[in-house]
Homo-oligomer: A and B are copies of this chain.
């Protein structure tokens, strides 16, 4: 069950989908799910699911399917989700406020410990979810105190590199970047860029006349 470096990115993304579906099934009390049913709920073909799970030595039980609780636990472990992670947000505009209040994050083990901005007029402001906006200068101290793993960057395009540099200097290891720019960071740091237009494109494809 150890992390191997050979697992493709696309598999990691699908594991995240399987995990959500299995969580729902577990909540509803389902004990076993057939590979065909799991495939249908996930909208992914059964062969792909089987292939993805073999990366982690999970093969299901022939003629039965997968044990929901067990598989859910194993996937969470593979994804490194059996621990809570402390998160900070940099750039408290509308998107920043929305993410700070996004309850799903906390349900999945991500905890916002602070929000930062470099705009003096915003510092001290209380966001809709009760988090006080702090000066970006306080980031190193906060990152150290709470062992912050991840910074979410929701600044403007102009402010994003400065935010990333500050996060790197403060010892943060991962960035989720919502700003529409490429960030330069030390090579040991992980950056995920989130582009919401990708979701639109997928929908647009399916709206084309067959």
Chain copies in the assembly? Answer: 2
- Interface residue tally for chain A (C-beta within 8 Å): 61
State the CA gap A196–B196 with chains docked (Å).
10
Closest chain-B Cβ to A121's Cβ sits at a distance in Å of: 15
Given contacts A180-B104, A207-B174, contact A202 B16 (CB under 8 A): yes
Contacting residue for A203 out of B128, B190, B203, CB 8 A: B190
Binds B, one of A27-35, A79-87, A133-141: A79-87
Set of chain B residues within 8 Å of A3, measured between Cβ atoms: 205, 208-210
Contact of A198 among B13, B43, B78 (CB under 8 A): B13
Asked if A9 lies at the interface with its beta carbon under 8 angstroms from chain B, I say yes
A196 contacts B16, CB within 8 Å? Answer: no
